[in-house]
Amino acid sequence: MFTPVRLDDPTPTSLSRGGALAITGLAAQGILRFATSLLVGRIAGQAELGVVASAIAAATILALLWPTSTGSAASKFLARARGAGSIEEARATAAHLRRRMLATVLLLAAAAIPVWVYLDGGSLTGALAVALLTIGYSGYSFTRGVQFGTGQTTRATGWDVLCVVLGLVVLTLLLLSGVRGVALVLPLALAYGVYALAGWPFGGGGRPEPTHRRELDGFVALGAVGSLASAGFLQLSQIVARLVSGDAGAGEYAAALALATPASMLAVSLTLVLLPALSETLGRSDEKAFRTRTDHATRTLAVVVVMIFGAVALCSRLLIRVIWGADYAGAAPILAILAVAVLCTNLGVVAVNALTARSQRGMAINVAASLTGMGFGTVVWLVAAPKLGGVGVALGYLAGTFVIAAIPVVVVWRAGRHRWAGLYAKLAGGILLLVALYATQSRLVLPIWLDPAVAVVFAVVWVALNRADAARLPRPWRSRRN
């Protein structure tokens, strides 16, 4: 853990174990984000939470413009080089991506200063904090991709946990000393920065062949556009909420977002493990393994995410009341809508990764889907957000994410000739059941303590509908015996 990343020494791990490690690491990072929101919202209030959440959203959007896609490129192309047995290619790839990331992150950090001053009408000091967060998050995204692309999943997870502890300690000290405002994003910037230094690919060297260099740059460029229109769409919704509802309304939206997004880490963690795994199968020209992994991951994810996000939606009132308090009651319907939106994002993640691993054309399809969905969601915002506030913003995000997820799924379904008709018929039925149960809760004004019972009913019905796929879910106790 405390030595430089090795580009030629992967740690053997299965897809399920790698997924578990990725989930652990991203859960730790989710705790850092969530704890930041919770402590700021509880101690400093809704308006302060709205400002901090908007600053995080601005830094994240800037990082999506190029640096974060270098992490995806590292994950894919370093794994592909390993699959082909070419260590020199891996070193040259790491060096090229490292140079590109450094050049762009400095420009984006400089751009963060006028961007935040314009959005917030605030001081230069606050803008510098946003710039530092842009640098830290960019470095974190890149080096995480490097470690997963080189098979260093255990190492990456260990640094996730250590950096989260560091971030939480610094955040607590700042809050206890009375610090308020945008400066409260500095613990996040510090945690991400330490992670980036720990995972920096110092061993990279050389230059890729011109053809490969163009392939790398094209991948990152397409990924940046796609990420901006998908992950950036989520962050933009936070800024839109602030524009239509003010700081207090943005704080309410941020409270709902803080509960919806940690569960979305499941999709991110699966991407970190699945993309290298699919790329390796293509490096070996193993089409059968590629198709099997795509099918199995899709079915497994469908069983799991519908249960998770269904429970979040049905228990939204209870979650808001217990975690945020009665003052944030208006965030409950926002949380329910965002839970369904993040469910859609998760359902599309396998198809997105299959297209990304396959070719640049596949990436272009993902980008087109993201841009189409973002455009559709923006139209809904223009109509609904001024009248409905945060609820309208959440509805626009849901509409956009449905389109973003649906297009790649349809393409992979047809191209791979997968037998998914029954699977997606059950998914449609499950979502309709979820909507019906939520509407019943609202209409009958059921006591809040009955929400978990309604969620259990939904989970039981869903698992019963998917008995065969649920039986194939990984069971850790089985692997220990074998």
Q: What is the pLDDT of residue 265?
A: 62
DSSP string covering 81-129, please? HHHHT-HHHHHHHHHHHHHHHHHHHHHHHHHHHHHHHHHH---HHHHHH
CA distance readout (Å), 309 to 91, 338, 348, 391, 463: 40, 9, 14, 18, 14
What sign does the CA torsion over 51, 55, 60, 65 have?
Answer: positive
- Residue 270 predicted with pLDDT over 80: no
- Residue 260 predicted with pLDDT over 90: no
Angstrom distance (rounded) from CA 418 to CA 299: 11
Residues of the chain with pLDDT > 90: what percent? 39
Angstrom distance (rounded) from CA 352 to CA 96: 25
- Residue 283 predicted with pLDDT over 70: no
- Residue 17 predicted with pLDDT over 60: yes
Question: What b/e string do you get for 265-276 counting C-beta neighbours within 10 Å, with b at 16 or more?
Answer: bbbbbbbbbbbb
More confident position, 287 or 480: 287
| pTM score of the predicted model | 0.78
Nearest 5°: the CA angle 307, 313, 316 is 130
Angstrom distance (rounded) from CA 313 to CA 451: 10
Angstrom distance (rounded) from CA 266 to CA 346: 7
Q: Where are the alpha helices (DSSP H) in 199-209?
A: none
Q: Residues with Cβ < 8 Å from 132, sequence gap 6 or more?
A: 109, 186, 189, 193
Q: What is the pLDDT of residue 482?
A: 40
Q: Are 336 and 458 in contact (CB under 8 A)?
A: no
pLDDT tens track for 360-408: 788 789 889 999 999 999 999 999 999 999 999 999 999 999 999 999 9
Of 139-148, 204-213, 277-286, 313-322, which range is least confident?
A: 277-286
- Rounded to an integer, the average pLDDT of 59-79 is 88
Average pLDDT in the chain? 85
CA distance readout (Å), 220 to 63, 225, 363, 383: 12, 9, 10, 33
Q: What is the pLDDT of residue 138?
A: 95
